[in-house]
Structure 1
Amino acid sequence: MARRHKIKIKTPHEIGRMRIAGATASEILMELVKAVEPGRTTLEIDQLAADLMRQRDCKSAFLGYRGFRGQICISVNEEIVHGIGGPRKIQPGDVVTLDVGVVKSGWIGDNAITVAVGDVTDETRRLLVATEQSLFEAISHAYAGKRLADLCGSVEEYVAPLGFTVVREFVGHGVGRDLHEEPQVPNYRPQGKSPILEPGMILAIEPMVNAGTRSIRILDDGWTVVTADGKPSAHFEHTVLITEGEPELLTWRERGVPGL
């Protein structure tokens, strides 16, 4: 009988591999958080990511993907996602998003966090806290038997009353052997019939939330996505396993916005 959808259900063996990949991605991400400090360039952090991956016998899931040139995505202030490490120096008051994806024994772990560098504005502080919380709002819907649309819609439904907007052009996704698998996981309620979540599904849930307009533009490098109004953006992500019970964070880390 044909499946009702193309969403891959992972076997227990595959889930075990994904646990290892997720834990490795989380460990590297949190090591990089410690390196985010004034005066350091984004390229230096990208190079550190390469060293950390080498030490853990894994490789970047992003490097070379459709021509991407970085080990990780590192995005500063108005940069939303897909920033490439370069000569830009981190300054006090910046917010820096680190998005780390690794391939470990053929399986992918994917996670992201936004770091506050020194004193940030009150609006930026609210943005970061709200974006992290919106991730956990979504995770609270990551239960077998629930509809994906409810998970997706919960992000925008949480941040919009606070005056923030969600990016629509870039979304979360299923993840496993491939970086981007079915289903797409937008941060707003999609139209049409929505799949029902089942045990064994693994989702990369990743709210991308802007302080101002949801409109975006892409820089001349062809990758870096920025807010159209130049206001800051935040991005938090976990790889999440749907189970028979509580959702499992394969990229588990302590909750909280670094730097706040």
Structure 2
Amino acid sequence: MVVLRTAAEIEAVRESGRVVATVLAAVAAAARPGVRLDELDVLAADLIAASGAKSSFLGYHPRWAPMPYPAVLCLSVDDAIVHGIPGRRALRAGDLLSIDCGAHIDGYHADAAVTVGVGQVDQAAQRLARTAAQALAAGIAAAMPGARLGDISHAVESTARAAGYGLPEGLGGHGVGTAMHEDPDVPNTGRPGRGLVLREGLVIAIEPMLVESGSDDSRTGADGWTVLTRDGSRAAHAEHTIAVTADGPVVLTVP
């Protein structure tokens, strides 16, 4: 069921979104060669707790997962598309790191992600991360009241395909509110003018996930959580939680 949020509820999501934005910025700045992924997760956990928020990810257990999620961040490196579990792996110069964070205050969630290079990264990695951010911006711009969900999906897909990138099947955005994942699903591929009519009060996460090789295939890793490119090519992930308002889309996961 799709729930339309009141102005007060949107402000509650925005409060959580500020925490998410702060965490993403701090973790991105700390993601240097030699730093372990689990150290970044501890940093994020401390920031979330200090803000008076709670993690949306820690302990989350969807039906398909073999265990509850054990961390507050998803940290996905190179060929990991999404849901990478932070372990003792140390980052290396040239790594492409996707940082995904969710937090809630008083039961209202926000969710966002960014992809950053670790140290000096090659131009292809820079282009991949930049295009993921551009696809996200295109999707957000399409989220106008009276438009359709397919308009968002088409904007994301058009940006990614024009650059030669793949979009993994079955992965995309979602509604956000009193649960981290709510209706509707927000696919990264679709036809304009189709699907749910976007109405004021709709709060969704738009999250392009791009594969460098152009493949749409993915696989689940041995941990049952991490989604990887099937051909081993690199991936990038960008995400914001937004609200559809009378004045257009408003990004809620900003400082």
Alpha-carbon deviations, 1:44-87, whole Å to 9, x = none?
10111111111011111011111111111011111100001101
**Counterpart pick for 2:221 among 219, 222, 235:** 219
* Secondary structure of 2:70's aligned partner: coil
The aligned length equals: 248
Give the secondary structure class of the aligned counterpart of 1:48.
Answer: helix
> Which residue of structure 2 lines up, in the alignment, with residue 45 of structure 1?
40
2:30 equivalent among 29, 35, 60: 35
- The structural deviation recorded for 1:104 is 1.1
User: Aligned residue for 1:3?
Assistant: none
- 1:96 is matched with 97
Question: What pairs with 1:64-83 in structure 2 (closer than 5 Å)?
Answer: 64-66=59-61, 67-83=68-84
Once the two structures are superposed, residues 92-132 of structure 1 have per-residue CA deviations (whole angstroms, 9 ceiling, x without a partner) of: 00011110000111110110000111222222121111111
1:241 corresponds to which letter in structure 2? A
CA distance in 1, matches of 2:156, 2:83: 21
**Separation of aligned partners in 2, 1:150 and 1:246:** 14
Matches within 5 A, 1:1-260: 6-66=1-61, 67-189=68-190, 194-212=195-213, 213-252=215-254
Once the two structures are superposed, residues 167-221 of structure 1 have per-residue CA deviations (whole angstroms, 9 ceiling, x without a partner) of 2222100000011111100100069951110010001000000101221111110
Opposite residue 245 of structure 2, the aligned amino acid is: T
Distance 1:193 1:38 in 2: 45
Give every structure 1 segment of 4 or more consecutive aligned residues whose post-TM-superposition deviation is greater than 6 Å.
none
Is the CA contact (8 Å cut-off) linking 2:156 and 2:208 kept in structure 1?
A: yes
Structure 2 residue ranges without an equivalent (≥5): 62-67
Give the TM-score, by structure 2 length.
0.94
Note the alpha carbon deviations across 1:125-169, whole angstroms, 9 max, x for none: 211111110000101101100011011111111111211111222
